[in-house]
Structure 1
Amino acid sequence: MRGWFRLTLGLLAVVLGALWTVQGLGYASGSLMTGQRIWAAVGPVVVLIGLVMLYYGLRARGRRG
């Protein structure tokens, strides 16, 4: 069960981080975050955290067999 939780949170973090990056760069409109440079910097960090969580989630799922 722990592997699924990490995979879910990791995927959510990757999607949100990518969205925040796109909004921060000004490519997606309709938000207060559009064009704000801070989100262009925070987004990739969140994506990286999500990828790490996906990696550990996959490792946990693989060990259980």
Structure 2
Amino acid sequence: MVNGAPAGGPTTGGRRQRETAMSGWFRLTLGLLAVVVGAVWTVQGLGYVEGSVMTGQRIWAILGPALVLVGLALLWLGIRARSQR
């Protein structure tokens, strides 16, 4: 401790807040991307989007909603990280 400042220095708390904010944005971005891609995979797997190798393939109708759920979890974590600033 120097002059009443913690050993990590006066900027340690600020750096931690920036890292939390950045990880929040990163999670939000990945979450949104996962939701969009998962939704596209779902409609392709169900046969609503034509002209793709994935059209009408049951596996994409299963993986799509799973990816949407992962994306929603990432969105929730990102919002939570952003609100803790």
CA RMSD of aligned residues (A): 0.3
Q: TM-score, normalised to structure 2's length?
A: 0.75
Q: Deviations over 1:2-50 (max 9, x none)?
A: 1000000000000000000000000001110000000000000000000
Q: Which structure is higher in RCO with an 8 Å CA cutoff and minimum separation 6? A: 1
Q: Corresponding residue for 1:26? A: 47
Unaligned segments of structure 2, at least 5 residues: 1-21
Q: Which has the higher helix share?
A: 1
State the percentage of identical aligned residues.
Answer: 72
Q: TM-score, normalised to structure 1's length?
A: 0.97
Unaligned segments of structure 1, at least 5 residues: none
Give the 4+ runs in structure 1 shifted more than 3 A: none
User: Alpha-carbon deviation of 1:51?
Assistant: 0.1
Count matched residues.
Answer: 64
Q: Corresponding residue for 2:11? A: none
